[in-house]
Amino acid sequence: MRIAGEAAYVLHTRPWRETSLLVEVLGEQQGRLGLIARGVQGPKRHVLRAALQPMQHIRLDAVLRGELAQLRNAEALDAAPLLQGDATLAAFYVNELVLRLAPRGDPLPELYDAYGEMRAGLGSDAPIAWTLRRFERDLLDALGFGLALDVDADDVPIDPAARYRLDPEQGARRVRLDRGQGDRDTAATGRALLALAADVQPDAEDLASLRRAMRVVLAHHLGPKGLKSWDMLVELGRLGSR
pLDDT at 143: 97
CA–CA gap between residue 125 and residue 144 (Å, rounded): 30
Ranges of each domain in the chain = 2-76, 86-240
pLDDT at 179: 55
For 58, how many CA atoms within 13 A lie in the half-sphere containing its CB? Answer: 27
Of 49, 57, 50, 60, which is closest to residue 78 (Cα–Cα)? 57
Q: Which CATH superfamily is domain 86-240 in?
A: Recombination protein O, C-terminal domain (1.20.1440.120)
pLDDT at 40: 76
DSSP state of 213: H
Q: What CATH number matches the domain at 2-76, 3.20.20.70, 3.40.309.10, 2.40.50.140, 3.40.1350.10?
A: 2.40.50.140
DSSP state of 232: S
pLDDT at 147: 97
Q: Are 201 and 129 in contact (CB under 8 A)?
A: no
pLDDT at 183: 67
Beta bridge partners of 13: 23
Per-residue pLDDT of the chain (242 residues; tens, 9 = 90+): 899 999 999 999 998 887 889 999 999 999 999 999 987 766 556 678 888 999 999 999 999 988 899 999 999 999 889 998 889 999 999 999 999 999 999 999 999 999 999 999 999 999 999 999 999 999 999 999 999 999 999 999 999 999 999 999 999 999 986 655 456 678 999 999 999 999 999 999 999 999 999 999 999 999 998 888 887 744 445 544 44
The C-alpha torsion from 27 through 116 and 89 to 92, rounded to 10°, is: -10
pLDDT at 242: 43
Kind and range of the H or E element at 75?
strand 68-76
DSSP annotation string for 102-171: SPBT---HHHHHHHHHHHHHHTSSS-HHHHHHHHHHHHHHHTT----SSB-TTSPBPPTTSEEEEETTTE
CA–CA gap between residue 180 and residue 193 (Å, rounded): 21
pLDDT at 176: 83
